[in-house]
Structure 1
C-alpha cells in the first residue's frame, strides 16, 4: 500500500481531473454545487454520528452504573446485608438472594423431567413383561399334553420364546430399578409401584412356567417307577432314568425348558437380593460377591425340585407303612437319590454350566431337593407325633428312645447324603456354607426351636442318667496308681506337658464326662447354623459339664480340708477331684481353640467355655490352697514346742568344750514327728496329684515352712551358741532332705532360714564388720548384704539375727 499523498497534491490532482482544458471552465458552477451538496451530506453524517456516540456513551454509563450498583449490593448481601439502595435511595432486593431460588426451581423442573422419563421407561418395560405374560397364559389354554412334543406344533416354542422375553423384561426392569435406587433413593413410591406390578405379573408367570415344565416331564415319562422287575426277584438294579433315555429332539426341548426356568429363578433371586439390600435385612449375605450367582439357589433349583415333587407321592405310599421303622424311610430316600444321581449329573450339569450358574452342582441340587422332600415328611408326619407323646406321656423312656434313634438316623443320613453331594464339582469356599445348610435334614429344627430344645433335653437327660450310675461306683473316682507311678516318685519331676487323663492322674469318671460331652458336641455339628449350634450346645454339653463340675466341688467341700486333722483318704479324694478338674480344664481349653468354638465365642467377645474354665481354675486353686494350709497348720501344731525352744536351751545337754559332730548329730527330738508327717504328706501328694499341681503345691508348702520357722524364732532375744547353730543347721538339712527328690537345690525355697544360717555361721570379725556396716544411716547397707550372699533379709532383720549369736564362741 502506497503512502498517503499531501493535501496540495490531492487537490491539484482533483482540479487536473475536472479542468483539463479551457472548455471545462463552463462546468465550474455545476461542480461547485455538487461539492456543496456533498459537504452538506458529510456534515449531516458527522452530526448524526456525534449524536449516536453521545447516546451510546450515556447508555454504557447507565449500564455501568447499574452493574456497579448490583455488584455493590451482591457484596453487601454476601456480607450479611439483606438489600441495597439504588442511586435514588430506594431499597431493592439483592440478586444474590434470588439465585438459589432460581437454581432450586431449575433443579425441581429437571427432577420432574427425569422422573417422567424414568416413569415412561419403566411403564414401557413393565408393559413388555405384562404383554409377554398375557401371551403365555393365552397360549396355555390352546395346548394339551399330547401337543407338547409334536413337531408340527409351534405353541411350545412360542411359549418358550415369550418366557425368555418376559425374563429379559424383568432383567431390564431390575437394572433400571437398581440405577434409580442408587441415584434417586427418595423415589421409593415409584419403586414400590413398579415392584407391585412386577410381583403380580410374576405370580402368574412362575406357576405357568412350572406347569409347562411339569407337563413336559410327564410326557417324557417322569417320574419313573420306584421299583424294577429284578427287585421283585430280590435282585437289585438301578431304576431306569427317563432323562437319560430321551431322544435328541426331546432333549433339546427339555434343555430349552430347563434353561428358561433357571433364568426365571435367577431374575427372581436378583429381585430378592435388591429388596433385601434396600431394606438392609440381610447385609451379611448381600456383602458376598457370589450371592447373586449361587447363594440365591441354596434352597435348590426349581427345575430340579420339580423332578423331586412327582416322586413324593409314590414314596409317601411306602412311608405311611414305615412310621414305626424310620430307618426304612431314610434308606429308601437314599436309594432313590443314589439311583438317579449319575443320570441327573450327566444331563443337568451341562445345562447348569450353560446357564452360567457358577459354583452350582447338579448332584448338590438333586440331593438338596430329596432332602427337602424328606424334611417335609418328617415335619408333618413323624416329629409332631413324637412331640405330642413327649408332652402327654408321663413315662418318657420310650419317647426318649424313639427320638434318640431318629436323630441317630438323621446324623447318619446327613453324612451319606453329603458324600453324594460332594462327589460333584468342587464348591467355592465362600458359598459352601450356604449350600451345605440346605443339605442338612436337621434344617427341620430351624423353624421349630421348641423341638430342638426337646431334643437337647432328651440328650441331657440320657447323659445325666448314665453319669449318675458312673458316679455311684467309687472306683470310678480313683486313679489306678501303677508301678511306673511309684518309680516316678523317686525321680525329679520332668514331664509337665500333660495331655492325657493318665498324665493328669484323673479318675475314670472324668474321661467318661469328657467323652459324653464330646459326643453331644459332635451331634451339634450336624445343625445347619451357628445359632442352633449354640442353643443345642449350651443346653446339652455345657449344662452336663457344669453339673459334673458342681459335683466335683461338692466332693471336695465335703472333705473339710481346712481341718487340721487331715486324713489320708481325704487327701486322696481331694487330689483326684483336683486332677479331674485340671484334666477337664485342659480339654475345654483345647476345644476353645477349635475353629467352631472360636466362631461361637466371637459373639460374646470371649471364649465359648470361659465361665466353665474359670470355675475349674478357681476350684483347683481353692482346694490346693486348703491342702497347703492344712499341711502347714499340721506342721505348726506338731513343731510348735520345738520352734519356740530354738536357741533357748542349746547347751543344756552339751559338755563344756566339746564340739558337736554335725555329720553324726541327730535331728532334734521335738522336730522328728513334724518332719515324719510332712514327709508322709508330700510323698502321698506326689503319688496322688498331677505333676503340675504338685510342683506348685510343694513349693508353696516349702515357702510357708520357711516363713513359719523364721518368724517363730525370737531373733534378738535368744542367743545361739556354736552347738545351737550346728543343731539348727542339722534340723534345717533334715527338712531340706524331704524336698530333695523334687528339686536339686531345695534351699532356694527356704530363703529366710538359709540367710539366717549364713549369718549365724559367720566369723566373729565378719560379724562385727557387718554390724558396723548395717548401722542406721549407712548408705551401703544393701550392697554389704549382697556381698555376703544375703538376698532376702533386710538390714534390720540381719542385725537381729547377728545379735542372736553368742559372742566369743
Structure 2
C-alpha cells in the first residue's frame, strides 16, 4: 500500500515560504526563521491564555453585576406589588418613595450603558493594538531589497494593516466624541482609553515613518545636491527621484504617502477633541488647536521625511560658510526651488486625495526646508554670535554681523514665502496659520534673550547714526519758504498738516521717523504678537523716547521763561516744537494702523470693538509717547507766550499806568483831535514794535496750527493785561483821552490783522471798554440808572453788545469817563 501523498500547503503558507526562500542561497537562514516562528507561537499562545483569563474574569464580573441588577428589579417589582396592595386595601396609606425608585432605575441604566461603552471601546482598542502588533512583527521580515520587488506583497500588507489601524483610531475617536457630548462626566473612561491609544500610536507612528523612509531610500532619496553640470559652472536643476519614478514605484509611494497622511489626520482629530475636553491642560487648550488645519502648521510628516535626509548633505556645505550666511540662505533657497515643481506635481494631488483641505504641498515643503535652516542657526550660528556679543571687545564688528544676518533672514523669509505662495489661491483663514510656520524668525520664539540682543543692537546702531546727525546744527534748522517771510494774510495758510514741510519740522525729525519706521518694518518679520511688542518697545519706542528727551532738553536749555527773549532762542524753540508736533502726527497715524491696533492694550477686544470706541478713549500703542509730545509742545508754547507777554508788560508798563491820567488829558481837553491822523502814544510805540517783530518771527518759524493757537492766546493775554492794568474808577478819560486810547488800540489790533479779519474779537475787554467810554452822556446816565435796578442786567448789557464785561465792571468803566467835557 503506497503511503498517503502529502497535502499541498495552503496558499498563505506558500506565499510565506516564497517570500523567505527565493533561491538556494536563502536556505541557511532556515534555522533562524524557525526559531523566530517558535518565539512568535509561544508569544501568541501566552497572549491567548491571558485573553482567556481576562474573558473569564470579565464574564464573572458581568454575571455578578447582572445578578445584582436582577435582585434590584425583583425588589422594585415587589415594592410595586406591595404598593398596589396598599392602594387596594387603604386609600390613606403613605405613598412609596417614587423619586428614589426612579433614581435607582437611572443608576442601573447608567451602569449598563457604561459597561456597554467600555466593552465596545475595549474591542476597538484591541483591534488597534492587534493591527499595531502585526505591523511591528512584520517589520523584521522586510529588507531594503524587497521594498520595491515586484512580486513582494509584504509592503502592501503592511500598508493595509496601517490603514486598518487608522480606521480603528477613527472608530475610537467617533465613540469618544459621542461619549464626550452625551456623557461628559465619564472623563476617567475617556482618559483611560486615550492613554492606551497614545501608547499604541507611540509605537505605530515610528514604525510607519521607518517603513516610509525605507521606501524613499529604495527610490533613491535623497538625491545628490549637485548635478554634473555644476562642475562645469552650469547650475542646472537637480534631478528629482520623485519625478523619475516608474508607474509601479509611483503606486507604492502613493499608497505609503496616503497611509502616513491618514495617520497624521486622525492624530490631528484627536488633538482637536482633546483640547475641547473640560480637563484639558492650558497648553493643550490653546486656541490654535480649535482649527484642525492648525495641527499641520509644522508641516506634513510625509514631506518632512523628504526633507530630513537632505540635512546631513546640506550641513556639510553650511560648515564652510559660517562667516558668510548669505551662502547658507542661498543654498537652502536653491534646493527648495529646484524640487518645488516635482513636489507640487507629485504630492499636491496626493494631499488632495487624502482630503487634507486647505493644505499645500508647496507650503509644507518650504516649511520643512525652513526647519532645516532653523535647526542649524539655533545650534551653530546664533550661539557663536551670542558668545561674541558678550565677550568681544570689538562690538562694532559683532553688531555688523548680527544685523547682516537678520537682513539675510528677512530677505530669505520673503523669497521663501513667495516660493510657497506661487500659483496658489490661498484660503485666508487657513493660510494665516500656515504662513506663521514659514518664518525663520521663529528662532527667537524660544530665545527671548536673543531677541533682546537684536533689539539692543538695532537701537544702538540707530542712536549712533542719530548722534552724528544731531551734531550737525543744520539738521535742526528748517529751510524757510520765501512765501512765509511775507507774513501777510494772502499767503497760503494750511491747517491740515501731514508732511514734515507742513509742520516746518527740521530734517532731524524726519531722520528719526524714518529710522523708527525701519525698525518697525523689521518687526513685521516676527511671527507672533508678543515678540513684535517686545521688539518694537525695545527698538523704535525706546529710540523715539530718547529723541523726545533731547527735544525737551534743547528747549529747557533755552530758558524761555527769562524776560530777555532772543530771536535765536525763539527760532530753536519753534523748530523743536515743530519737530514734536510732526512726530506726534506720525505716531497718531501709526496708531490707526491695524498692526498697532492689534498690539495696543485691551487684548480681549476684537478689532470691531476697538474701532467702535471713541478716539479719545481708544487705547493707543504710543499713548505715553503722544502724551509726552503734547505736553512738551504745550508747555513750551506757554513759555513763549509768557515771555512775550512779560516782555510787552515791561516795555509798556509806564504807558499803561498813565492811561487816562489827568496830567496827559489836561493838555488836550480843549482841542479837537483828528483821529485818523493821530499818532500812537510815544510810550506805547516800543512795545508794539517788539510785539510785531515777535509775532512776525513766530509766523515764519512756527507751524501754522500752533501759530494760530499761540497768537490768539497772546492776544487774549494782552487784552486781559491792558484791561486789568487800567485803574478803572480812579482815572478820568476825557474825550481826547478816549480817542487816544482808541488810536492806540487800533495800532495793537493792526499787528494781528494779517492773521484775522476781526482781531478785535480776541480783545473783548478792551473793545467793550472803549464802547462804554464812547457812549454819549445821556446814554451813560440812562445806562447807569438801568444797571442800578439790577433786575435785568444781562439783557441790558446784551442789548448794548456787551458780552464779556459784567455790570459791575461796566459801572467802573463808565465812572472813569469825564462828564460834561
Name the TM-score, length of structure 2 as normaliser. Answer: 0.86
Matched residue, 2:784: 771
1:518 CA displacement: 0.5
1:464 CA displacement: 1.3
* 8 A Cα contact 2:288 2:294, kept in partner: no
1:107 CA displacement: 2.3
* 8 A Cα contact 1:330 1:409, kept in partner: yes
* 8 A Cα contact 2:580 2:633, kept in partner: yes
1:329 CA displacement: 0.3
CA deviation profile, 1:272-295 (whole Å, cap 9, x unmatched): 222222216369865887x12x21
1:335 aligns with 2:358: no
Matched residue, 1:542: 541
Q: Judging changes above 3 Å, is the alpha-carbon distance between structure 1 residues 656 and 782 closer, same or farther for their aligned structure 2 residues?
A: closer
In 1, the alpha carbon distance for the partners of 2:668 and 2:760 equals 31
In 2, the alpha carbon distance for the partners of 1:803 and 1:168 equals 107
CA deviation profile, 1:717-736 (whole Å, cap 9, x unmatched): 21111100100000000010
Q: Which deviates the most, 562-571 or 608-617?
A: 562-571
Aligned partner of 1:795 among 797, 801, 807: 807
In 2, the alpha carbon distance for the partners of 1:310 and 1:748 equals 84
CA deviation profile, 1:397-447 (whole Å, cap 9, x unmatched): 211111111000000000111111111422221232211110000011111
* 8 A Cα contact 2:669 2:734, kept in partner: no
Q: Judging changes above 3 Å, is the alpha-carbon distance between structure 1 residues 69 and 566 closer, same or farther for their aligned structure 2 residues?
A: same
Q: Which deviates the most, 655-664 or 335-344?
A: 655-664
1:488 CA displacement: 5.5
State the SS of the aligned residue for 2:321: coil
In 1, the alpha carbon distance for the partners of 2:283 and 2:683 equals 79
State the SS of the aligned residue for 1:658: coil
Aligned partner of 1:784 among 768, 774, 796: 796
Matched residue, 2:70: none
In 2, the alpha carbon distance for the partners of 1:363 and 1:62 equals 80
1:200 aligns with 2:223: no
State the SS of the aligned residue for 2:495: coil
In 2, the alpha carbon distance for the partners of 1:614 and 1:784 equals 45
State the SS of the aligned residue for 2:671: coil
In 1, the alpha carbon distance for the partners of 2:140 and 2:310 equals 27
1:550 CA displacement: 1.0
* 8 A Cα contact 1:562 1:630, kept in partner: yes
1:450 CA displacement: 0.9
Q: Which of the pair has more CA radius of gyration?
A: 1
In 2, the alpha carbon distance for the partners of 1:656 and 1:110 equals 119
State the SS of the aligned residue for 1:458: helix
1:156 aligns with 2:155: yes
In 2, the alpha carbon distance for the partners of 1:790 and 1:61 equals 102
In 2, the alpha carbon distance for the partners of 1:484 and 1:492 equals 7
1:105 CA displacement: 2.4
Matched residue, 1:299: 298
Q: Judging changes above 3 Å, is the alpha-carbon distance between structure 1 residues 650 and 176 closer, same or farther for their aligned structure 2 residues?
A: farther
1:60 CA displacement: 14
Matched residue, 1:69: 92
1:410 aligns with 2:409: yes
Aligned partner of 1:694 among 704, 707, 721: 707
Q: Judging changes above 3 Å, is the alpha-carbon distance between structure 1 residues 64 and 510 closer, same or farther for their aligned structure 2 residues?
A: closer
Matched residue, 1:233: 232
Matched residue, 1:471: 470
* 8 A Cα contact 2:289 2:295, kept in partner: no
In 2, the alpha carbon distance for the partners of 1:615 and 1:277 equals 46
Q: Judging changes above 3 Å, is the alpha-carbon distance between structure 1 residues 386 and 510 closer, same or farther for their aligned structure 2 residues?
A: same
State the SS of the aligned residue for 1:320: helix
* 8 A Cα contact 2:487 2:699, kept in partner: no
1:173 CA displacement: 1.1
In 1, the alpha carbon distance for the partners of 2:303 and 2:507 equals 52
Name the TM-score, length of structure 1 as normaliser. Answer: 0.87
In 2, the alpha carbon distance for the partners of 1:655 and 1:435 equals 92
CA deviation profile, 1:456-511 (whole Å, cap 9, x unmatched): 11111111111111112222111121323324655366311111111111111111
Aligned partner of 1:680 among 683, 689, 693: 693
Matched residue, 2:17: none
Structure 2 matches for 1:544-693, cutoff 5 A? 544-603=543-602, 606-649=619-662, 651-652=664-665, 654-655=667-668, 657-693=670-706
Structure 2 matches for 1:455-534, cutoff 5 A? 455-487=454-486, 491=490, 494-534=493-533
State the SS of the aligned residue for 1:774: helix
In 1, the alpha carbon distance for the partners of 2:90 and 2:128 equals 59
CA deviation profile, 1:147-166 (whole Å, cap 9, x unmatched): 11222111111111111111
**Aligned Cα root-mean-square deviation (Å):** 1.9
Matched residue, 1:281: 282
* 8 A Cα contact 1:521 1:541, kept in partner: yes
State the SS of the aligned residue for 1:375: helix
CA deviation profile, 1:784-806 (whole Å, cap 9, x unmatched): 22222222111111111111111
Matched residue, 2:421: 422
Q: Judging changes above 3 Å, is the alpha-carbon distance between structure 1 residues 193 and 65 closer, same or farther for their aligned structure 2 residues?
A: closer
CA deviation profile, 1:571-626 (whole Å, cap 9, x unmatched): 11111111111000000000000001000004467211011101111111111111
1:236 CA displacement: 2.2
Q: Which deviates the most, 490-499 or 253-262?
A: 490-499
Q: Judging changes above 3 Å, is the alpha-carbon distance between structure 1 residues 651 and 451 closer, same or farther for their aligned structure 2 residues?
A: closer
* 8 A Cα contact 1:479 1:576, kept in partner: yes
In 1, the alpha carbon distance for the partners of 2:392 and 2:724 equals 69
1:393 CA displacement: 2.1
Unmatched 5+ stretches in structure 1: 1-58, 75-94
State the SS of the aligned residue for 2:565: coil
* 8 A Cα contact 1:651 1:723, kept in partner: no
* 8 A Cα contact 1:277 1:286, kept in partner: no
State the SS of the aligned residue for 2:621: coil
In 1, the alpha carbon distance for the partners of 2:769 and 2:498 equals 42
